[in-house]
């Protein structure tokens, strides 16, 4: 069964474990050491039982992968682990939606997740541009005033980062924007430096969010989804499909105009909805419009 792992806050059923029967001396650190052996964790939370449930604690452990959560539940249920009494480990199947659904992960968590699934040195990033666009929205300012320090002490920086996966032949870019109203009593250069770092982190997180990791058994596929532009790359750790595979320049990329039933594994062909395939003719126009609009926006504020 295939599973899609995104660089976003994990949601949906099957990825959270409920641990019952914790003793008073149980800690989040002990739980993290125990369950992180099955896969990367997003969060570990320990809570006190309700008064009607008696003394003790329970914990919620959230995985990025439902497959890892299922393995941990089977291996740890009704076992003492790090305490004397056995623990009851259940998979949460009914969860209320929370406000963090759909949010992207921080750049630190993105790097941690990529290193786990893809391995170290499997990706690299570089900053394309990092510009001060403070005062860009003020239409009354002329070009010279835009290049100078805004009177309102409003610091805003735009960063564009490129994310590359050499082993998979995939490359994408992310955009990060950070803004802060600097207090007059605060040093502006120090505040600007912090805003630049925040913009860089947000750009890297945005680039990672365009990547989908598709786990199919012991095989691993890496997929880049950028609006209506989809690229597939076959992992070096998987065997080649007997179906016809048409790489471009040896990098294993298949843009929309090359996707057909004879060039894509039947699993992926069936996974593509008819609505999505119908939009492939609009891909070039859509990307051209966004690229032109972006260059016009950045070009006006370029130094």
Phi-psi region of 19 (alpha: psi -120 to 50; beta: other; left: phi over 0): beta
Residue ranges of domains in the chain: 10-91, 104-303
Which positions ≥6 away from 196 have C-beta within 8 Å?
A: 130, 157, 159, 178
In contact, 242 and 231? CB cutoff 8 Å:
no
Task: Find, among 266, 269, 218, 215, the residue nearest to 241 by Cα.
Answer: 266
pLDDT digits (tens, 9 = 90+) for 4-39: 888 988 886 788 999 888 887 778 888 899 899 998
DSSP H or E run through 207: helix 188-208
Distance in angstroms (rounded) separating the CA atoms of residues 190 and 292: 34
pTM over cut 0.75 = no
Task: Please name the CATH architecture into which domain 10-91 falls.
Answer: 2-Layer Sandwich (3.30)
Range list of H helices, 62-187? 66-76, 107-118, 143-147
End-to-end CA distance of the chain: 51
65-84 in b/e form (b: 16+ CB < 10 A) is bbbbbbebbeebeeeebeee
pLDDT digits (tens, 9 = 90+) for 75-88: 988 888 888 888 88
Residue 221 is predicted with a pLDDT of 61
pLDDT digits (tens, 9 = 90+) for 217-254: 665 666 655 433 333 333 333 333 333 333 333 333 33
Q: What is the 3-state secondary structure (H, E, C) of 1-15?
A: CEEEEECECCCCCCC
């Amino acid at each position: 069964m295939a599973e899609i792992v995104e660089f976003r806050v994990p949601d949906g059923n099957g990825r959270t474990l409920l641990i019952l029967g914790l003793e008073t001396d149980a800690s989040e650190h002990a739980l993290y050491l125990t369950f992180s052996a099955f896969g990367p964790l997003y969060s570990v939370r320990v809570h006190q039982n309700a008064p009607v449930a008696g003394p003790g604690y329970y914990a919620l452990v959230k995985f990025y992968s439902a497959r890892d959560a299922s393995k941990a539940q089977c291996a740890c249920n009704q076992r003492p682990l790090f305490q004397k009494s056995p623990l009851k480990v259940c998979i949460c199947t009914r969860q209320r939606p929370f406000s963090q659904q759909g949010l992207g992960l921080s750049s630190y968590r993105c790097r941690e997740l990529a290193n786990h699934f893809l391995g170290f040195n499997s990706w690299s990033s570089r900053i394309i541009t990092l510009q001060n666009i403070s005062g860009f929205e003020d239409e009354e300012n002329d070009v010279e005033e835009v290049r100078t320090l805004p009177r309102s002490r409003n610091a805003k920086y735009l960063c564009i980062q490129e994310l590359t996966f050499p082993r998979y032949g995939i490359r994408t870019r992310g955009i990060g924007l950070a803004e802060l109203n600097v207090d007059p009593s605060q040093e502006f250069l120090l505040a600007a430096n912090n805003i630049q770092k925040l913009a860089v982190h947000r750009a890297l997180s945005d680039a990672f969010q365009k990547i989908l990791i598709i786990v199919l058994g012991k095989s691993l596929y890496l997929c880049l989804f950028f609006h209506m532009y989809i690229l597939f790359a076959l992992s070096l750790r998987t065997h080649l499909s007997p179906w016809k595979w048409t790489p471009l320049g040896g990098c294993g990329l298949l843009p929309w105009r090359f996707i057909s039933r004879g060039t894509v594994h039947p699993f992926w062909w069936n996974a593509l909805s008819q609505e999505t395939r119908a939009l492939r003719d609009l891909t070039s126009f859509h990307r051209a419009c966004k690229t032109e609009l972006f260059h016009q926006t950045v070009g006006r504020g370029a130094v």
